[in-house]
Amino acid sequence: MTALLIALVVLLAIVVVWLAATHLQYRRRRPSRLPTEGAKRILFPFIGDGLSQRALDAALRLARAEEATLVPVFLARVSLHLPIDTPLPRQSAVALSLQEAIEQRATAWGIPVDARIERGRTYRHALRQTFEHERYDRIVLAAAARGGNGFDAGDVAWLLDNAAGEIVVLRPARDTTISPPAAASHSWSRNGTVATMTSVRRRRAVARIAPR
């Protein structure tokens, strides 16, 4: 009995130390500022299976200089022959991976993030839906260069004609693409959320295009 009691005490001590270490690590990684109502918001729409690191860094620099919240919006396309609310598991997994990468980079900069996913028949349709749903002060986006990830010239021209507020378009001469891990897999629960998610905010956003 004494040996069992000692083992239980040791196990409890290990659990307490692990919880304390986890809490400390979370506090160190947490953004120094939290989003506040009325704070500036920088919209960062992105598409495809990767995003421009230089464009993301430009958005983060602006957000830090203006003490703004970064709003990364993954634009999901839904084919015309499918219902607009059809499940999109592959795009959901890509969106989650890229938004996690954005949030990790933003955390290192001390920038609060409010991630979104918007669906549409085309990227322009998804952008129009975003403008109707989101409050923002500035848009930062990457223009495609040499077949890379980003918006083409037609989409950029449409954006300049249809979006309100200040627009910053970046076309890097040389760029690094942030891509989701090739081997990354996310298990979907029955209610459509991703089991590996740690943010309630991202869970609600991804659930909008996750299978039900």
Is residue 190 in a domain?
yes
Is residue 109 in a domain?
yes
- Looking at residue 155, its amino acid is D
Does this model's pTM top 0.75? My answer is no
CATH number at residue 102: 3.40.50.620
Q: What share of the chain is helix, strand, coil (3-state, %, to 5)?
A: 45, 20, 40
Is residue 200 in a domain?
yes
Gap between the Cα atoms of 119 and 112, Å rounded: 23
Looking up tokens 């549409």 gives 120
Q: Could you list the residue range(s) of the whole structural domain that residue 97 is in? A: 45-207
Question: Count of residues for the chain?
Answer: 212
Is residue 15 in a domain?
no
Please state the rounded mean pLDDT for residues 145-157. 82
Q: Tell me the pairing of strands 41-46 and 138-142.
A: parallel
Interval 24-52: pLDDT, tens:
343 444 444 444 556 899 999 999 877 88
pLDDT score recorded for residue 189: 30
Interval 50-102: pLDDT, tens:
788 889 999 999 999 999 999 999 999 999 999 998 888 999 899 999 999 99
